[in-house]
Amino acid sequence: MRRERVSDDIYVFTSDLYAQVTASAVVTRDGIVVIDTLPFGVETLEMIGYLNSLGMGPIKYLVNTHWHGDHINGNYLFDDSVELVCHKKCQQAMQEFAPFALDEAKETTPLLEEAEIRVPNVVFEDGKMVLHVGNKSVEVALTPGHTWDSTVAYVREDKVLLAADTVMPVPYFVWGDRHKFKESLDALRNYNLESIVQGHGEVLLRGEIPMAIESSISYLNVLEEKVTEIVEKGKGKRVLNQLTIDDCGKSRIPLNGLVQDLHRANAYALYDELMGNNG
pLDDT of residue 61: 98
pTM for the full predicted model = 0.97
pLDDT of residue 92: 98
Percent residues over pLDDT 90 in the chain: 97
Going by pLDDT thresholds of 50, 70 and 90, the confidence category of residue 278 is low
Residue 74 has pLDDT above 50, yes or no: yes
- pLDDT tens digit string along 88-126? 999 999 999 999 999 999 999 999 999 999 999 999 998
Going by pLDDT thresholds of 50, 70 and 90, the confidence category of residue 279 is very low
| Pairing relationship of beta strands 31-35 and 128-133 according to DSSP bridges | unpaired
Phi–psi pair at 58, nearest 5 degrees? -70, 160
Query: Whole-angstrom Cα distance, residue 128 to residue 38?
Result: 24
Give 192: exposed, middle or buried? Use CB within 10 Å, 0-12, 13-18, 19+: exposed
- Read off the pLDDT of each residue in 189-204 and give the average, rounded to a whole number: 98
Give 27: exposed, middle or buried? Use CB within 10 Å, 0-12, 13-18, 19+: buried
